[in-house]
Homo-oligomer: A and B are copies of this chain.
Amino acid sequence: MDERKRRVLQAIILDYIATADPVGSRTIAKKYNLGVSPATVRNEMADLEEMGLIEQPHTSAGRIPSQSGYRYYVDCLMEKEPVRNETREMIRGALLNRMRETEALIQMSGKLLSQLTSYTTLVLAPSMGQNTLRHIQFLPVEREKAVMVIVLDNGHVEHRLIEAPEGLNEEDFHSISQLLNQHIRGLSLENWRASVMQTIYRDLDYHRDLLGKFIAQVENSLLVGQDQKVYLGGALNILNQPEFKDIDKVKTLMELLEEESLMKEVLSPTDEDGVTVRIGTENMYEGLKDCSLITATYRFDGKIIGTLGVLGPTRMEYSKAISVLDFLTKALSEGLNKL
């Protein structure tokens, strides 16, 4: 693989990314002034095709990059594209605006990412399960209903409605809250065990029958809804890609993207640090075989807690997407830790 071959391959990939048309030898020789004739380029192309890096849609067409071609490009050829200053400013500004709530900050990142890259984005939001409870409190709402407010260590607040037996007054709620706080504070939603509940239950020996059902509900409520959420952004951007001019393809892909459990799997963090690129069939799902997914993880307190992803056709602007994604995940991590 000599230098000229690399330059030819790079030219083919760049041109195809930009135009979505198969690239011919003439175009390359002229536009990417390599200083050689089309015939020479053709010879190089024949070699590249033999190596499996490019292919011909049909005999008399130009070449397009193969999946391995893209892979080689991403691994060896691609030049890092610096993130433009305005882009940096925009990201910082937008994130600063959402510095109140974790969830809002993360959602905003997804939105920004789809705006800046013009691709579809996927966001895996952190699961609440790993966070520890800081505070739990009950408020009576109406007859037989109370709201449980949970405050986690990372500042996330959630409330859940639960049924409460009649006959509890405000004072009762207050004391139950306090008791629960004593036992539960500092435990994570994940590791929190039912045995704790039993201790609490024992301590609340007065009104035991009255509270049984209530405590059971609290227990339940704490277990529910811990799973990670997936946010989809800029889904309509798919429609701009010429490879998705076919309605059926769009539909298949969209349906796949809306399957939250699958997307959760697709976005689950890899061991490698930084930005991961999965091209075509490197994605484990058949439905993504014409797409590339670029992901990066973000962190809170040093630990990986979620993933941002950019999804486009295999013919996507890798360098731009990667640089924006890289910058954004770092900005997000920073934001989260400042919060």
Interface residues of A, Cβ cutoff 8 Å to B = 100-101, 134-135, 137, 139-142, 145, 147, 149, 151, 155, 157, 159, 161, 236, 239-240, 244-245, 247, 250-251, 254-255, 258
Contacts and interface: CB of A to CB of B under 8 A. Distances in A.
A155 B145 contact: yes
B161 A157 contact: yes
B135 A151 contact: no
Nearest first, the 9 closest Cβ-Cβ pairs linking A and B are: A239-B251, A147-B157, A141-B151, A100-B161, A159-B159, A236-B254, A245-B247, A137-B139, A239-B247
A106 B240 CA distance: 33
Nearest to A141: B151
A124 to B, nearest CB: 22
Tally of this chain's copies? 2
A137 B236 CA distance: 41
A140 B157 CA distance: 11
A238 to B, nearest CB: 10
Contacts of A251: 236, 239-240
A139 B161 contact: no
Contacts of A247: 239, 244-245, 247, 250
A147 B101 CA distance: 11
Contact of A149 (B135, B159, B236): B159
A331 B69 CA distance: 57
A133 B236 CA distance: 39
Given A239-B247, A258-B236, A155 B142 contact: yes
Nearest to A248: B239
Contacts of A139: 135, 137, 149, 151
A141 B161 contact: no
B159 A141 contact: no
